[in-house]
Amino acid sequence: MRPLLRDHVWYVSAPDGAYVHGLGGACTLTGSHTYELLDRVAPHLTGEQTLDQLVAGLPDRQQTAVRDLVEALAAQQFVVDAGNEDRPHTLTAGELSTYAAEIAFIRFGLDSAERRFQQLREARIGLVGDGPVLGELLRAGVWSGWRHTRVVAAAADVDSLLATPRRDDLQEIRVDPADGPLDAWLPGLVRDLDVVLQVSGDASRADLITVARECHRTGTPLGQLLVDRAEAWMVPVGPAAETAAESCWRRLAPPPRTEDDWLLGPVPGLVAAQLALSCTSHLTGLDTLPAPDRPPGVPVLIGTDLRTLVTRIHRVSVHPRAEARERSPEAAPEERIGGPAVDGAALLDTAADLVDARTGLLRSLAEDELVQVPLAVCRARVADPGPVLPAWVQPPAVYGWGADRRAARLRALLAGLAVNGSLTAPANPGDLWGVDPISGARHRVRALPAPVVPFQPPVGAAAALSWDDAVVTGLRDHCEAILRGDDRPDRAVVDLPALVAETDDARVAELHDLLRIAGLDVRVEDLGDRLKLPAFSMRAGTGLRATVCATTVADALHDGLERLLLQWQTGLHPGRALAPARTGDGSGIPELVEALQRHGHVPVVVPTAHDPALREHLGHVVQVVLHGD
């Protein structure tokens, strides 16, 4: 290697080493003497000597330090190998002159710039779509050097597209009208191309999925643009199996409604230039360089706000309904049941992978305007992955609450994942099954209850850090649903202060004191005779009520008092919990099952972590259904 430090690289001393910055990104090289070593070595990284020559004569320890430093710089593309011989090319003198700036741009990041630009010139590039962005994309591509371009567009646009100015005499543009349905002519078009670029309006999202699937089948690299009045979304050019193009469009939430059209003036050209540059990067290998704002190997959607031209990158996970799912296959039945418990702190730390306002399993996880005293409260807004709900329905919102912020956020996260699981159909809808909560025996399930509007989480939907806790939560939800219909006038009134003292639970006593300080007189009625389990109906103030059932008196009192306090504090009336308030040992399943069986119900636990992105983080997501109801 003949190490050459790029001209655009700067470095300064940092508290923990040396901060190095280049046009491709920045990093900190740690070490107490790293800056001093870099400052001594940098003037010699001219590409004139090999690395072995540079370190010759140095003590072994210093040789190792210099080699490690150069390798670290090379890994970040701050140093390149000046000894690499450029690969041969067949560009003409005219091409070298006309496209000197483009070739220099490639050489700035990679070797063999002429050969790489030749790959772009030789590529057969196809454009599909309509609208002003398509015309601008063709112009941008031709100006960047495309030589073989084929366009399929609306018949009315054929003449204007054919009139696109060429930059050199070798450039060929063929424009055909889009006759007939897309799936009739698309396979023949894709077979003859090296790259497919598509521009579509929001109303044609299904066309984007159709093209993504065809390119995945043939292995043809694909780049796509979805453009509407106020925003544009781009899948960067690459193999469809790697960019997960279909998943991108299935994950993307509908755009906000607006009557203003911002796709005017220079905006179509700026949007098209992004896709044209992505195509150039793919064909020349520039897309292999490190991108500090894009994690390697993770599919992304790049969104542009047309009002401000601010661009943001959104991570995308493989969608369960996407055809290209080799990297995240459906889990085997035995892998969907049980398994080790998940660490709550670790799950919260990775929550950012699940939350994104436009592409996440959860649209948001935040405290927002919610009052945070005396309980911490968090709201999770859930993506509709189907979509299952009507387009005009707002994203479902669920809540988590607890003694502190982390507890509230964890509970809201679990509740949101429970709802997401209930809205996600399995990859094979006919393969729906559940298990007996005690024996684990499998049962065929015909269908889960359809979502209702306004949306309410289905009874029995639950998520927890352990399988047994999720099952207990779902079973308790069904028990409480039965008890909410109990309107007997002769229910026994419970002496709450005496019961709290008898329970001897510090948190229960604290919740009772908080309600008393709030001036609420809590009336508690015993419902335990219905299910032969600790169960209560609680009322306080005006309209504050909670119906709770658990396997211990302490858990029932805790959850009921906490829900009353939440209602008084925030005005929220969740009524139910989709995630356990306290982590347990999973005990109580037999008692809850027996209670439901006494009422003629056979509970079945359906694993609902169908989404591979959900299952990667948490597999303990279920929906308990009552078989035979």
CATH number of the structural domain spanning residue 75: 3.90.930.70
Quote helix, strand, coil % in the chain, to nearest 5. 40, 20, 40
Residue 372 placed within a domain: yes
Sequential DSSP letters for 488-511:
-TTPPEE-HHHHHHHHT-HHHHHH
- More confident call, 84 vs 304: 304
Angle at alpha carbon of residue 561, lines to 558 and 564, rounded to 5°:
145
Residue type for 532, please?
K
Output the pLDDT for position 390. Answer: 87
Residue 441 placed within a domain: yes
CB atoms within 10 A of CB 69: 21
- Do 559 and 552 touch, CB atoms closer than 8 A? no
- Do 440 and 591 touch, CB atoms closer than 8 A? no
Residue 86 placed within a domain: no
- CATH number of the domain where residue 272 is located: 3.40.50.720
User: Average pLDDT for residues 452-461, to the nearest whole number?
Assistant: 91
Q: What is the pLDDT of residues 236-274, one digit of tens each?
A: 999 988 999 999 999 999 888 888 999 999 999 999 999
Is there a single domain that holds both residue 432 and residue 311?
A: no
Q: Which two tokens stand for residue 577?
A: 């919990």
Is there a single domain that holds both residue 551 and residue 595?
A: yes
- Do 145 and 113 touch, CB atoms closer than 8 A? no
DSSP state of 369: T
With cut-offs at 50, 70 and 90, classify the pLDDT of residue 295: confident
Flag whether pLDDT at 513 surpasses 80. yes
Residue 96 placed within a domain: no
> Phi and psi at residue 198, in whole multiples of 5°?
-130, 140
Residue type for 609, please?
A
Residue 595 placed within a domain: yes
- Do 193 and 125 touch, CB atoms closer than 8 A? yes
Report helix, strand or coil for 394: coil
- CB within 8 A of 75, min separation 6: which ones? none
Selection from 475, 596, 480 nearest residue 536 by Cα: 480
- More confident call, 401 vs 428: 401
DSSP state of 517: H
Is there a single domain that holds both residue 576 and residue 484?
A: yes
CB atoms within 10 A of CB 241: 20
Output the pLDDT for position 27. Answer: 92
Using the 3D structure, point to which of 297, 315, 333 is the last residue of a domain: 315
Flag whether pLDDT at 514 surpasses 80. yes
Is there a single domain that holds both residue 201 and residue 291?
A: yes
Q: What is the pLDDT of residues 168-208, one digit of tens each?
A: 999 999 999 998 999 999 999 999 999 999 999 866 789 99
Is there a single domain that holds both residue 399 and residue 505?
A: yes
Q: Tell me the pTM.
A: 0.86
The residue whose two tokens read 């490690």 is: 68
Is there a single domain that holds both residue 138 and residue 221?
A: yes
Maximum Cα–Cα distance across the chain? 99
Q: What is the pLDDT of residues 348-375, one digit of tens each?
A: 999 999 999 999 999 999 999 999 999 9
Q: Find the range with the poorest average confidence among 56-70, 421-435, 521-535, 544-558.
A: 421-435
Residue 620 placed within a domain: yes
Q: Which two tokens stand for residue 111?
A: 């070797």
**Strand pairing partners for 129?**
199
Q: Find the range with the poorest average confidence among 267-276, 486-495, 502-511, 590-599.
A: 486-495
393 vs 390: CA distance, rounded Å:
6
With cut-offs at 50, 70 and 90, classify the pLDDT of residue 325: low
With cut-offs at 50, 70 and 90, classify the pLDDT of residue 443: confident
395 vs 412: CA distance, rounded Å:
15
288 Cα distance to chain centroid: 23
Flag whether pLDDT at 339 surpasses 60. yes
Using the 3D structure, point to which of 14, 47, 81 is the last residue of a domain: 81
Q: What is the pLDDT of residues 203-237, one digit of tens each?
A: 678 999 999 999 999 999 999 999 999 999 999 99
Residue 325 placed within a domain: no
61 vs 454: CA distance, rounded Å:
70
Is there a single domain that holds both residue 152 and residue 237?
A: yes
Residue 105 placed within a domain: no
Q: Which domain holds residue 280?
A: 123-315
Output the pLDDT for position 324. Answer: 55
Output the pLDDT for position 328. Answer: 46
- Do 477 and 462 touch, CB atoms closer than 8 A? yes
143 vs 145: CA distance, rounded Å:
5
With cut-offs at 50, 70 and 90, classify the pLDDT of residue 338: confident
Flag whether pLDDT at 587 surpasses 90. no
* Beta sheet of 523-526, edge-to-edge order: 493-494, 523-526, 535-540, 544-549
DSSP state of 220: -
With cut-offs at 50, 70 and 90, classify the pLDDT of residue 541: confident
Distances (CA, A) of 33 to 12, 45, 83, 223, 473: 13, 18, 29, 45, 56
Is there a single domain that holds both residue 206 and residue 298?
A: yes
- More confident call, 582 vs 534: 534
- Do 307 and 413 touch, CB atoms closer than 8 A? no
Output the pLDDT for position 289. Answer: 83
- Cβ-count burial 438-477 (b if 16+ within 10 Å, e if not): eeeeeeeeeebeebeeebebbbbbbbbbbbbbbbbbbbbb
With cut-offs at 50, 70 and 90, classify the pLDDT of residue 502: very high
Omega within 30 of 0 (cis) for the link into 374: yes
Flag whether pLDDT at 629 surpasses 70. no
DSSP state of 486: -
Q: Which two tokens stand for residue 12?
A: 């300064």
Is there a single domain that holds both residue 286 and residue 222?
A: yes
- Cβ-count burial 253-281 (b if 16+ within 10 Å, e if not): eeeeeeeeebbeeebbbbbbbbbbbbbbb
Distances (CA, A) of 189 to 208, 211, 214, 249, 279: 15, 11, 10, 22, 18
Sort 107 into a burial class: Cβ within 10 Å, 0-12 / 13-18 / 19+: middle
Instruction: Establish how many alpha carbons lie within 13 A of residue 107's alpha carbon, considering only the half-sphere containing its beta carbon.
Output: 16
Q: Which two tokens stand for residue 497?
A: 């202060």
Output the pLDDT for position 331. Answer: 54
Residue type for 425, please?
A
Is there a single domain that holds both residue 72 and residue 153?
A: no
Q: What is the pLDDT of residues 592-606, one digit of tens each?
A: 999 999 999 999 999
- Cβ-count burial 404-427 (b if 16+ within 10 Å, e if not): eeebbbbbbbbbbbbbbbbbbbbb
Whole-number average pLDDT of the chain: 92
Sign of CA dihedral 456, 398, 346, 297: positive
With cut-offs at 50, 70 and 90, classify the pLDDT of residue 327: very low
Report helix, strand or coil for 553: helix
Using the 3D structure, point to which of 81, 115, 139 is the last residue of a domain: 81
Q: Which two tokens stand for residue 448?
A: 């889960």
- CB within 8 A of 449, min separation 6: which ones? 458, 459, 625
607 vs 614: CA distance, rounded Å:
12
Q: What proportion of the chain, given as a percentage, has pLDDT over 90?
A: 78
Is there a single domain that holds both residue 204 and residue 311?
A: yes
Flag whether pLDDT at 429 surpasses 50. yes
Sequential DSSP letters for 265-313:
TTHHHHHHHHHHHHHHHHHHTGGGS--TTS-TT--EEEEEETTT--EEE
40 vs 153: CA distance, rounded Å:
59
Is there a single domain that holds both residue 311 and residue 363?
A: no
Q: What is the pLDDT of residues 544-582, one digit of tens each?
A: 999 999 999 999 999 999 999 999 999 988 767 889 887
> How many independent structural domains does the chain possess?
3
